[in-house]
């Protein structure tokens, strides 16, 4: 089932969201520090029954942050209502997990008439003595460091958070029952954190500092399911809840899959009313079918020049001027189906389709980097200890001192641009390289065609 991606302007902020499926609309709010990418599998499942809308919360994924120094739970709750209004919801049926559930619960408590039903996973109620578990020590600053030190912390922080809670207290009494080292999950979390940067702390802090927002018994509110699954550290908090309002249900399921299924079935009992779909900003993603590619291409900018990035890079690195795109298998664009083509004809077909779509009169390519593609683009698949993250960082740093970037010596020295070696600049290149599943293929295709 196809998932599309869109941008809306909401109260002056740009909000990115994913959409999938057919049927009554359901709003999905992700946990911190994830993005709507957290719900890719769930959307493909629920999309057979609902039209799923999953926005990136403010400051996460590709959404702009709130224009506040320290946004609170009310601010994130209001942002949910504002997005629902902009997207066209006439009534809100919603699901949220952990901090996503906290923000939804806050929104429902203050705007109950806007909701038809709510399903929440892993809703917490921390005791005063647990404040240190989710305080500022939980929310360490996250800023790029010159030699990639921040990447070592990021990998291990997510690796070990399924081993004990909180992640910074490795104590026997705090061990969790289902530890894992699932590389795909950890990598996805790290990539979302790299997108959010230090703003990841805002969503976490707001969720942890918020009040207990479950309405008291006797309150006139829409029906809700508050549930969790065995092994979630928040599951034990259910015994701390006050009596729930009439029509509310409290459940524990054995697995995450069971939890999602029960939440889906609950929301299906209370479908949201008719929906007035809003128009997108008209910028961000375009569907292209050409050269064997069939998917979304991310773009930004304007003009009559199509600006094409080099292998392993993305449109945001091309600079100002022109329509800057992410080629397939790069940046925020979809990957090629199967193996990326090493012949130029398929790439050219996609570029021609884009030039036609945007009415571009000129196509401008970044120059190819010097060197052997096998060495310029080594295997950067996630590994058990996250070494691929530091490897990519070091490779890019070297590329601003030597050419080719895999060599070191007097004969390979190039003029040093100190500004290019700032951690902030390297961080943008680093995200682009990690997302580039087709870098080597693009390089080989351009070499073969002399482009």
In the predicted structure, residue 282 carries a pLDDT above the cut 80: no
Quick one: pLDDT at residue 421?
97
In the predicted structure, residue 292 carries a pLDDT above the cut 90: yes
Q: Report residue 278's pLDDT band, with 50, 70 and 90 as the boundaries.
A: confident
* pTM confidence score: 0.94
Q: Which helix (DSSP H) or strand (DSSP E) does residue 424 occupy? A: helix 423-435
CA distance 233 to 340: 41
> What is the tens place of the pLDDT at every residue in 394-433?
999 999 999 999 999 999 999 999 999 999 999 999 999 9
In CATH terms, the superfamily for domain 4-125+202-268 is Alpha/Beta hydrolase fold, catalytic domain (3.40.50.1820)
Q: What percent of the chain has pLDDT over 90?
A: 94
Quick one: pLDDT at residue 443?
98
- For residue 95, give every residue at least 6 positions away whose Cβ sits within 8 Å of its Cβ, in sequence order, or none: 26, 27, 28, 29, 104, 118, 119, 120, 121, 263, 267
Quick one: pLDDT at residue 320?
79
Q: What average pLDDT does the segment 283-288 reach?
A: 92
- Cα→Cα distances 227→9, 24, 33, 408, Å: 33, 22, 21, 56
Q: Report residue 321's pLDDT band, with 50, 70 and 90 as the boundaries.
A: confident
Helix axis angle, 387-398 relative to 423-435, nearest 10°? 120
Q: What average pLDDT does the segment 65-73 reach?
A: 95
Quick one: pLDDT at residue 280?
75
Q: What average pLDDT does the segment 16-27 reach?
A: 96
> What is the tens place of the pLDDT at every residue in 348-385?
999 999 999 999 999 999 999 999 999 999 999 999 99
Quick one: pLDDT at residue 1?
86
Half-sphere exposure for 267 (CA within 13 Å, toward CB): 33
What is the strand order of the sheet 362-365 is part of? 285-290, 293-302, 322-325, 305-308, 362-365
Place of tokens 């022109």: 322
Beta strand 4-10 pairing with 13-21:
antiparallel
> What is the tens place of the pLDDT at every residue in 125-135?
999 999 899 99
Domain with CATH 3.40.50.1820 in the chain: 4-125+202-268
Quick one: pLDDT at residue 275?
81
């Amino acid at each position: 089932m196809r998932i599309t991606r869109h941008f809306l302007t909401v109260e002056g902020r740009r909000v990115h969201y994913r959409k999938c499926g057919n049927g009554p609309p359901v709003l999905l709010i992700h946990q911190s520090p994830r993005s709507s990418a957290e719900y890719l599998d769930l959307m493909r499942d629920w999309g057979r029954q609902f039209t799923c809308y999953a926005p990136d919360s403010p400051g996460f994924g590709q959404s702009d942050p709130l224009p506040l120094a320290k946004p609170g739970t009310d601010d994130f709750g209001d942002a949910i209502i504002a997005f629902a209004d902009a997207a066209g919801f006439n009534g809100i049926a919603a699901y949220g997990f952990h901090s996503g559930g906290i923000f939804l619960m806050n929104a429902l408590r203050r705007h109950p008439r806007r909701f038809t039903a709510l399903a929440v996973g892993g809703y917490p109620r921390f005791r005063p003595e647990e404040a240190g578990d989710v305080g500022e020590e939980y929310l360490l600053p996250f800023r790029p460091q010159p030699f990639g030190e921040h990447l070592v912390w990021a990998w291990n922080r997510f690796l070990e958070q399924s081993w004990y809670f909180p992640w910074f207290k490795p104590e026997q009494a705090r061990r969790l029952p289902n530890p894992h080292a699932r590389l795909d999950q950890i990598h996805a979390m790290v990539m979302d954190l790299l997108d959010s940067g230090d703003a990841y702390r805002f969503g976490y802090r707001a969720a942890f500092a918020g009040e207990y927002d479950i309405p008291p018994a006797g309150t006139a509110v829409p029906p809700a399911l508050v549930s969790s699954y065995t092994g979630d550290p928040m599951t034990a908090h259910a015994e701390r809840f006050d009596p729930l309002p009439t029509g509310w249900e409290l459940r524990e399921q054995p697995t995450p899959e069971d939890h999602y299924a029960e939440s889906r079935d609950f929301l299906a009992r209370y479908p949201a009313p008719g929906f007035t779909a809003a128009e997108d900003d008209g910028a961000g993603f375009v569907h292209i079918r050409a050269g064997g590619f069939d998917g979304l291409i991310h773009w930004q900018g304007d003009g009559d020049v199509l600006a094409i990035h080099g292998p392993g890079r993305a449109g945001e690195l091309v600079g100002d001027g022109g329509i800057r795109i992410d080629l397939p298998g790069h940046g925020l664009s979809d990957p090629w189906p199967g193996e990326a083509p090493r012949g130029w004809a398929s790439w050219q077909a996609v570029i021609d389709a884009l030039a036609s779509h945007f009415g571009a009169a000129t196509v401008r390519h970044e120059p190819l980097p010097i060197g052997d593609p096998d060495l310029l683009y080594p295997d950067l698949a996630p590994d058990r200890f996250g070494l691929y993250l530091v490897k990519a960082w070091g490779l890019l740093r070297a590329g601003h001192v030597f050419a080719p970037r895999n060599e070191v010596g007097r004969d390979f020295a190039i003029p040093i641009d100190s500004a290019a070696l700032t951690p902030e600049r390297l961080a943008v290149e680093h995200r682009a390289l990690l997302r580039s599943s087709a870098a080597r293929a693009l390089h080989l295709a351009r070499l073969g065609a002399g482009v």
